[in-house]
Amino acid sequence: MSIVIIGGGWSGLAAAITLCQQDHSVHLLESAKQLGGRARNVEWQNKTIDNGQHLMIGAYHHMLAMMELIGIDINKSFQRYPIDITINDTEYQPLHLSAKGWLPWPFSLAWNLANSAGLSGLKQVANLQSNIPKLLKNKDISVSDWLLHTKQSERLIKQLWEPLCLATLNTPIDQASAHLLATVLQDSLGQNKSFADLLVPRQPLGDLFPRQAVRYIEQHGGKISLQTRVKQLLIKQKKIQAVITQDGETITAEHIIVATSPTQSADLTSPHLNIDTPAEYPICTIYLQYPFDTRLSSPMLGLTGTLSQWIFDRSKQHPGLMAVVISGPGEHEAMSKNELIQQVCKEIHQQLPSLPETADHSLVIREKRATFACTVNIEKMRPNSQTNISGLWLAGDFVANSYPATLEGAIRNGESCAKLLALSLA
């Protein structure tokens, strides 16, 4: 039985691992020179860094289980921190989303929130949280409408909900799906304390999962071809036959999993499938190399009222390295790299005067199509893994799963697609 997987991002790799584990023979085709897709290694100044800062949390159960399956030691590969996020604003006092203290979860979170946002802030958050079941039963609305409906203050909107929405859905609150944000809040903050833990990889993303995945897939008889772009799917009488690569090679296959981004999947499968293509939004990461002894007091810090949204301390991997993240669309897209670096350095220095006014070296990485936009009713647009073409399957983070574009969603979809395919062969 020949199975071809198109795309060597985290989803395609998860599909390949799942099929190899069940003794199926797979051939994974990746157009780029390296695996990892939107979560890959980049070389810069003799350092291996990520194409963009990623945040993983304890609620990423499928990702962690997949890593364990292929022999990754989770404790060695990640530093795990109980949630402890401070969000500094240009106007308001810092706000703390933290589990620190002697109180048990979730009281510790409530206590720290009440201390920084007042009792009324805590009440508003509780009001929003208790509204989640009702919200999910009704039709989707925008996050802004939900915040209005649950009477959130200007301060909480600016300093808590806007940054959380951008960080998790990469979509501005007036467009973002309240259903999706509610699901994320429920799965991360509404459960066990460990689900909200921040997981910071000790190595670059490409070494963390893709490299280990290759070892597992090849040891289990799978094949991986890099720099192999699929140009066309060969489909006859509603049944998959083969793929044709850009070099003109025909690779026959009885089953094909397309594990690419939504627009790439729509292009590849057209006109046989009619995949709705969502808007795709950018994420910009600005790496700033400061003197080696530069540190933040916590792994990450949120900033509001500024262009910079989050600053991550990467000095455990590369001394003095900070990563500043700007999610979603915005005025920064029209700025030149130099303008962006200058503005971000200025903001960081104003908020954290212990950091120098300028960085020694800097790098701007703009991922223009970082994630699909998680807009209102997006769930209705997302396709299922199984298609009406025999032997054609879909994976990738966009396939329906009630999660935004995340590594967890990508792995979950790769795994579940492979399991459905395997079941069809049984």
Nearer to ligand FAD (CB atom), residue 117 or residue 208: 208
Nearer to ligand FAD (CB atom), residue 110 or residue 381: 381
Least Cβ distance, residue 179 to ligand FAD (angstroms): 18
Nearer to ligand FAD (CB atom), residue 34 or residue 115: 34
Nearer to ligand FAD (CB atom), residue 121 or residue 391: 391
By C-alpha distance, which of 247, 214, 237 is closest to 392?
237
Which residues would be at the binding site for ligand FAD (CB under 6 A)?
Answer: 6-12, 29-32, 37-39, 52, 54-55, 229-230, 259-261, 264, 268, 283, 285, 367, 370-371, 396-397, 405-408, 410
Least Cβ distance, residue 362 to ligand FAD (angstroms): 16
Least Cβ distance, residue 40 to ligand FAD (angstroms): 7
Nearer to ligand FAD (CB atom), residue 108 or residue 371: 371
Nearer to ligand FAD (CB atom), residue 264 or residue 304: 264
Nearer to ligand FAD (CB atom), residue 150 or residue 264: 264
